[in-house]
Amino acid sequence: MSIDFSLKGKIALVTGASYGIGFAIASGMAKAGATIVFNDIKQELVDKGLAAYKEAGIDAHGYVCNVCDEEAVNNMVAKIEEEVGVIDILVNNAGISLIKQINDTTAEEYDKIMSVNARSYFLCSREAIKLMLKNHEGAIVNVSSMWGQTGASCEIAYSMSKAAVIGLTRSLAEELAPSGITVNCVCPGIIDTRMNNMFDKNELEEEVPLGRLGTSEEVADAIFYLTQNKYITAQILGVNGGII
Ligand code: NAP
């Protein structure tokens, strides 16, 4: 086994990680020794996140930042460098969903979902890379969705935004390979989080060959692996219980 399952000395930024999948990702990395930095869009959410990390015995650094806002992202990354250090791992996780047919989706709703789910990944990657280049190493993992791979009826804008994340991953991986930075992507299926609270759980489970919803920790495990292996880049990994 040549993989070092330790993140001791590494600094990981996970976006939108006050709870849900982001919290599981950051908590897993903290247990492996990483210093955790996370952001969320409101102070109230960051405070909740800080309390949750504290309860889990994790000393995390939380920042308020709307990841769609270029200036806010630039300021956050500069502050992280000053207050915590150089980012080694970036997990672009912040995201929103929208379940509507195309006829009911407004241009404003389309712009918002593309902004949170795709533009923010571009902005956060661009800033974090500037720091990673100083060490000539780093790992970026983007959280897309199985709908980004297949497309989904009634989730046109969401599927488009998640397909853009796959395009970003493949292009950036190629661009950054000579600089020693890996870029990969996970595509979760149906994960047991509040994003799916509005659906009947039994009906959702019937769609999954493995017969149950995935957990945030299972998505986190896949991401953790992708940050560890230095010879895997430009890959799109499904975490979907066999749906695709
Ligand atoms: P979640 O619980 O809603 O967490 C996402 C976090 O991102 C929330 O804290 C959210 O804040 C934050 N956020 C939203 N917009 C933001 C912005 N502009 N700036 C900063 N933070 C922002 O979602 P989740 O279920 O853990 O999903 C995490 C990721 O996995 C998303 O990218 C999602 O698309 C993807 N995914 C999830 C599933 C699933 O089944 N859950 C499946 C496939 C892919 P608010 O609470 O204020 O919105």
Q: Is 158 designated active site? A: yes
Ligand 1 centroid to Cα of residue 196, in Å, is 11
Question: How many angstroms separate the Cα of 81 from the Cα of each of 76, 97, 127, 176, 189?
Answer: 9, 31, 11, 20, 34
**How many angstroms is it from 2 CA to the middle of ligand 1?**
33
Tell me the C-alpha distance between 183 and 194, whole Å: 27
The mean pLDDT value for 92-106 works out to 98
pLDDT of amino acid 111 = 98
- pLDDT at position 117 over 60: yes
Give pLDDT, residue 185.
Answer: 98
Question: Mean of the pLDDT values across residues 33-38?
Answer: 98
Question: What is the distance in A from the centroid of ligand 1 to the CA of 45?
Answer: 12
Question: 6 and 32 in contact (C-beta within 8 Å)?
Answer: yes
| Length, in residues, of the chain | 244
Q: Do the beta carbons of residue 154 and residue 110 sit within 8 Å?
A: no
What does the pLDDT read at residue 5? 76
pTM of this prediction exceeds 0.95: yes
The three-class DSSP label of residue 88 is coil
Q: Which residues line ligand 1 (CB under 6 A)?
A: 16, 18-22, 39-41, 45, 66-68, 93-96, 116, 143, 145, 188, 190-191, 193-196
Label residues 127-161 b or e (16+ Cβ within 10 Å = b).
Answer: bbbebbeeeeebbbbbbbbbbbbeeeeebbbbbbb
Q: Note whether 23 and 49 are within 8 A (CB).
A: yes
Averaged over 51-64, what is the pLDDT? Answer: 98
Q: What are the two backbone dihedrals, phi and then psi, of residue 178, each rounded to the nearest 5 degrees?
A: -65, -15
